[in-house]
Amino acid sequence: MAENQQLAALVDACHWIGAKGWCPATGGNMSVRAGAGQCLVSESGKDKGALRERDFLPVDITTNRVLDPRTPSAETGLHTLIYRCLPAVGAILHTHSVNATVLSRVEPGASLLLSGYEMQKSLGGVASHLDQVTVPIFDNDQDIPALATRVAARHEIAPLRHGFLVRGHGLYCWGRDVLEARRHLEGLEFLFQCELQRRLLEAR
């Protein structure tokens, strides 16, 4: 079944993310869209590099209602928002890498603008290094509904595309399936590392 295949692919992606060091100390959370208007979200407080299929909980995308006695990630409301805003999205990965954390702090603006990189083409719909890729940056907030409201408001003005950063916190990115979400994560993390190095060198 496609849904089970996506969950298995997500568990594989979590192990790969753990090996990359992008979810230290139980940080991060992940999900896939499931049938019947639901998504499956990782349980709170687990080591993301050691997740198994049974560590994902069903959540209603419209109501945020958790259809399980366990507690999903505290940031579930951002996952359901993304599934509501972007009907084509099938999988969401939220990671806490050093590069995403630092770059979102040292960039004072409301967006990270990337251009001139061939690897921008790893992002769906980007065909040239001459395109400008805009990664929105939202100030961090422990009030997830308030943060979700700000994300939704910006999406109304400028639709979300591949992902966004939360300042000092990490990256949310996604794709139509786990494979594309994983390529977007790998491409964006590569671009963040390049951009940090470039800024250090060009500051000379």
Question: What is the Cα–Cα distance from 84 to 195, expressed in whole angstroms?
Answer: 31
Dihedral sign for Cα 158, 163, 166, 167, please: negative
Closer residue to a copy of itself, CB minimum distance, 15 or 183? 183
First-to-final CA distance of the chain:
54
Give buried/exposed letters for 12-35 (b at 16+ CB in 10 A, else e): ebbeebbeeebbeeebbbbbbbbe
Binding letters toward a copy of itself, positions 26-55, x by CB under 8 A:
xx----------------------------
| 200 touching a copy of itself, by CB under 8 A | yes
Which window, 65-73, 78-86, 96-104, 155-163, contacts a copy of itself (CB under 8 A)? 96-104
Question: Coil, strand, or helix at residue 154?
Answer: helix
Is 15 annotated in a binding site? The answer is no
| 106 touching a copy of itself, by CB under 8 A | yes
- CB count within 10 Å of CB 135 equals 25
Which window, 53-61, 62-70, 127-135, 156-164, contacts a copy of itself (CB under 8 A)? 127-135
Question: What is the Cα–Cα distance from 56 to 23, expressed in whole angstroms?
Answer: 16
Closer residue to a copy of itself, CB minimum distance, 26 or 64? 26
Interface with a copy of itself (CB under 8 A):
24-27, 96, 98-99, 101-102, 105-106, 116-119, 122, 127-130, 140, 142, 166-170, 183, 186-187, 189-190, 193-194, 196-204
Q: Would you list which residues are annotated within the binding site for Zn(2+)?
A: 94, 96
